[in-house]
Structure 1
C-alpha cells in the first residue's frame, strides 16, 4: 500500500494492536507506527494516543480523543481521520465524536479488529486499509463519523457491536450500513444528517438503568441516587413497572433529566401504554429517545450536562438525536 499523505491515523490500542504476552494474556502493545509498518503504508501521518483495550477507557479518554481528532480535522492538509480502537466501546467513542465533530466536512472513520495482530488470518489489516480509503475518498466527504468493519460502513448514531467474536462484529439493527467497500472503491449508500454539535468536554456521569422483570420504583431510586441525569432502558416501546413513573416525576421536579430508551436492539420507544407504561413516563416528564441506544443516550446526556445546556435546549438535542 502506497502513500496517503492527507490521512491522519490516530491509534489507541485495542485488539488490532494486541499481541500475546509471556503469560498468555492478550494486550495492546503495538504503537501506531508499528501498526502501519506492518501494512507497508508510506507517507501516512500517525499519532499514537495510547495502547490499551477500550474496556479500560473512561470519560477523560473520550475527551482526550475528541481533542486530538479535532486538532487533526483543523489541519488543512488532512482530508480525513482514521481512529483505531478496541471493539468493546468503539460505538460509544464513535457517537461521542459524532456529537463533537459533526460540523466538519471531513470523514472520521473508526476501525479495529476481532483477531489480534499475531493471527495470520487477522482482520485488522484489511479493516485499516478500508478505513484509510474511506478517509481520503471524495464520495465520503459528507459521511460524518462512521465505523468501518468487515467491508461495511456504519453510522455512529445507529451502529452497535452485535457479536463478541465474529469478524462481522458490528451492525445497525433496523437501518443497515451507510456504505460498503468494493476493493478500494467506497460506495456510499446514504449520507449523514446534520445535527447540532457540542463542545468537547468530559461528560458528567449519568445513571444507566436497564429494567428487568420485577424491578420497582424503590430499586430504581437506589440506582439513580446521586446522579445529575438518568437514562432508563425500559421494556419494549418504553414501559416500566407502575411504581417507577412517580420516581421519574420526583427526579424531573428536582431538575434531573430522564431519557427513556428501549432494551430492545431494534425499534423505537414511543409513549403508548398507560398503567405504568410509556404514557405515564411521558406525563412524569421523561424524554423519549427513539431508537437511540441507552449507552449513547448516556453519553449525549452527560455531554449536555457538561456543556451546561439549558433544559429546553437539552430537549432539542435529545429530539434531534432521537431520529436517524
Structure 2
C-alpha cells in the first residue's frame, strides 16, 4: 500500500519538560505520532531522538541512510523527517545533495513549542509536511522544509527567529509554495540540485569574521583542516592580513571558499585592500548567496568523496 514514511529524529516537536531540568527530546516516532493525533497511511521509524543542536556529521549520515532506505521502497510516496529547528536547514541541504537522484519528496518539519503545550505548532506542521510528501505535485521537488504553512527549498532556507512560530524564511527568494487547508500551492520553480554520493563529511573550518580577527588568528582557527569556509564581511571582504594565509592554504591544495555574514545577497570580488578581489587573487572561491553552514557541508562531502581541487571548484560553480 502506498504510504508516507515518517522518520523521527527528536527535536522540540518530540520534547517534553523533565523534572525542572529543562526541555529535551524524549518521544519516539510512534509516541510522537500518537501524542499529536496524526492519522492516515503512514509508517514511522525513529532514527535518533536528539535535539538537533547535538547532531554531528555521523548523525547526518545515519539519518541519510534511513532516508535513502525509505526512498528505495516502491510503496513509499515520500519521506517526512521530524527534526529540531536549530540545524534543520543544514540537514535539509545535506539530504538534498545525497538524495537528488530520487524524484520522491523529502520533507523536514518540526516545532517551536514542545509537545507538552496543548497549542503546540508541531501537529499542524507535521500534518502539512505529510500533505506535501504524499502529493503528486511534489514529485521532483526534492528536499524541502515545511513550517508555518510554507514550503521552503533546502538550498535557500534559514531559521530566522529563535522562538516565533513562523521560524523559517528564504531571504531574498521567499518560499516555493504553501499548504492551505491540505491544498498545495507552488509559486516558483526550484534550483536543480547536484548529486554527491553519500559519505560522512570531512571536517571543514567555518570562520565567521569580526572586527579584530586578523591573519594570525585566522591561521590558528584554520590549522589542521582540509578545507576552509569564510563567513566574510558584506560582499565578501576580510582583513588585509588574511589574504596571505589564504594564499598559503591554497598553495597546499586546501580549498578556501568565501561566503557572507549577511543572510541575503551574493558575495563577489569587488573590493581591494584585503577585500574580495585580493581574496580571489589569493585563490579563494566565491559561493554566491549560499550560506556558510551549507557550503561547509558541501565542501566536506566533496573532500570525503576525494574530488580533485579543480572538480570541487567546478561543482561549486554549478550549485551557487
Q: Is the 8 A contact 2:2 2:77 kept in 1?
A: no
Instruction: Name the structure 2 match of 1:131.
Output: 129
Instruction: Name the structure 1 match of 2:306.
Output: 308
Aligned partner of residue 45 in structure 1, secondary structure: strand
Match of 1:54 among 44, 52, 55: 52
Superposed counterparts of 1:15-164, under 5 Å: 15-38=12-35, 39-164=37-162
CA distance in 1, matches of 2:48, 2:226: 30
CA distance in 2, matches of 1:134, 1:51: 23
RMSD: 1.1
The question of 1:236 aligning with 2:241 is answered no
Deviation of 1:30 after TM superposition, in Å, equals 0.8
CA distance in 2, matches of 1:40, 1:313: 45
Aligned partner of residue 11 in structure 1, secondary structure: strand
Deviation of 1:223 after TM superposition, in Å, equals 0.4
* Higher mean C-alpha displacement, 15-24 vs 74-83: 15-24
Deviations 1:215-255 (A, max 9, x none): 11111101000000000000010011111111100000011
Unaligned runs of 5+ in 2: none
Instruction: Name the structure 1 match of 2:5.
Output: 8
Instruction: Name the structure 1 match of 2:165.
Output: 167
Deviation of 1:5 after TM superposition, in Å, equals 4.5
CA distance in 2, matches of 1:59, 1:100: 13
CA distance in 2, matches of 1:174, 1:192: 14
* Higher mean C-alpha displacement, 50-59 vs 194-203: 194-203
CA distance in 2, matches of 1:5, 1:163: 36
Q: Is the 8 A contact 1:202 1:306 kept in 2?
A: yes
CA distance in 2, matches of 1:213, 1:20: 40
- Go from structure 1 to structure 2 and tell me whether the alpha carbon gap of 1:116 and 1:25 turns closer, same or farther (over 3 Å shift): same
Aligned partner of residue 79 in structure 1, secondary structure: strand
Unaligned runs of 5+ in 1: none
- Go from structure 1 to structure 2 and tell me whether the alpha carbon gap of 1:77 and 1:304 turns closer, same or farther (over 3 Å shift): same
Aligned partner of residue 232 in structure 1, secondary structure: strand
Instruction: Name the structure 2 match of 1:256.
Output: 254
CA distance in 2, matches of 1:91, 1:43: 27
| TM-score, normalised via structure 2 length | 0.98
Aligned partner of residue 320 in structure 1, secondary structure: helix
CA distance in 1, matches of 2:105, 2:42: 16
Instruction: Name the structure 2 match of 1:180.
Output: 178
Deviation of 1:295 after TM superposition, in Å, equals 0.6
CA distance in 1, matches of 2:38, 2:117: 17
Match of 2:214 among 210, 213, 216: 216
Q: Is the 8 A contact 1:142 1:191 kept in 2?
A: no
Q: Runs in 1 of length 4+ with deviation above 6 angstroms?
A: none
Q: Is the 8 A contact 2:96 2:193 kept in 1?
A: no
CA distance in 1, matches of 2:92, 2:80: 11
CA distance in 2, matches of 1:73, 1:320: 25
CA distance in 2, matches of 1:41, 1:89: 27
CA distance in 1, matches of 2:38, 2:303: 44
